[in-house]
Amino acid sequence: MTCWQAASDTAGRVIIMGWSVVSSNGDVRRAVLRLAGLLRARLEESEQTQAWLARRTGYSPTVISRALSGRVLPSQAAVLAISAVLGVGRDESSRMWNSAAEVHRARRREHRIAERGGWPPAVGSYSDLLDAVRRLLRTSHVTQTRIAARIGMPLSTLSAALRGTRSLHRGLLADIVYAWQVETGAVSRADTAMRQVDSWLEVWDRVGRPHQQEQWARRREGCQRSGEARRFGLAVTYERRRQHGAWLRDVEGVSRRRVRRRR
């Protein structure tokens, strides 16, 4: 059996669709699971390991593990290489891969169309929203420094929000889109500019608000836990001090009685 090499695919992306995209679409999720399940079953039938498969295909063990996990969609070249080594029909694996990749292609087309006019693309998760905003600035050659200066915000705060380490709240998203419109001059009509901002805010309401509510719930839970722990710690400290004070009073009482007896 010929050893497949991944040299032709190293210049591109070996994993073309991550978990955030796969999990956001039920059809894609089922197609990826079927493909990964077929490849895993053939690997088990061959009584070989993923390390053996990595050596035969020329891909790293990490890529093989992720490709068989059902959580990501590998490139077509990777799927065909794995299928060839495991004896899976090329037509069958290509058909299963295409059914999952079609959503990825449609998403990329929507991104390219939207990037030219500043309208939000198809977004399935909060991370997709952050990626869309970053791409909007990058494709129009508007730096985060100019946006931060335009809205009067520290650059570090804006960068953290676009990275996801801080919350991209609804008002900040509207400010970013407004600033982008002013910097690029892409929208000349006021009503069009308002509709464009509203379209981004609708996306935020769909994916950003649930994310924000989830973060708030986690913070409240953390605060409750820390509060309970703090109250428990204070209670333990109070009890120890109370017991220690009683012990001191007992010691002082014994000492005083001894002093009186000596006198």
User: pLDDT tens track of the chain, all 263 residues?
Assistant: 333 333 333 335 677 667 766 766 677 788 888 888 999 999 999 889 999 999 999 998 988 998 898 888 888 889 999 999 998 888 888 888 888 887 666 666 656 555 557 788 778 888 888 988 988 888 788 899 999 999 999 999 999 999 888 889 899 999 999 998 888 886 667 777 888 889 899 999 999 888 888 888 887 777 676 666 666 666 656 566 655 555 455 545 544 544 455 55
CA separation for the pair 80, 56 (Å, rounded): 13
Burial (Cβ within 10 Å: 0-12, 13-18, ≥19) of residue 99? middle
Look at residue 114 in the predicted model and tell me its pLDDT.
59
Look at residue 245 in the predicted model and tell me its pLDDT.
57
Look at residue 176 in the predicted model and tell me its pLDDT.
92
Look at residue 155 in the predicted model and tell me its pLDDT.
93
Conformational region of residue 73, where left means phi above 0, alpha means psi within -120 to 50, and beta covers everything else: beta
CA separation for the pair 86, 200 (Å, rounded): 46
Dihedral angle computed from the Cα positions of residues 180, 186, 192 and 193, in that order, rounded to the nearest 10 degrees: 20
**Domain annotation for the chain: domains and CATH numbers:** 7-108 (1.10.260.40), 118-214 (1.10.260.40)
CA separation for the pair 176, 162 (Å, rounded): 10
Look at residue 127 in the predicted model and tell me its pLDDT.
87
Look at residue 154 in the predicted model and tell me its pLDDT.
93
Look at residue 238 in the predicted model and tell me its pLDDT.
59
Look at residue 5 in the predicted model and tell me its pLDDT.
36
Q: Which residues have CB under 8 Å from 240's CB, separation 6+?
A: none
Look at residue 109 in the predicted model and tell me its pLDDT.
60
CA separation for the pair 158, 78 (Å, rounded): 38
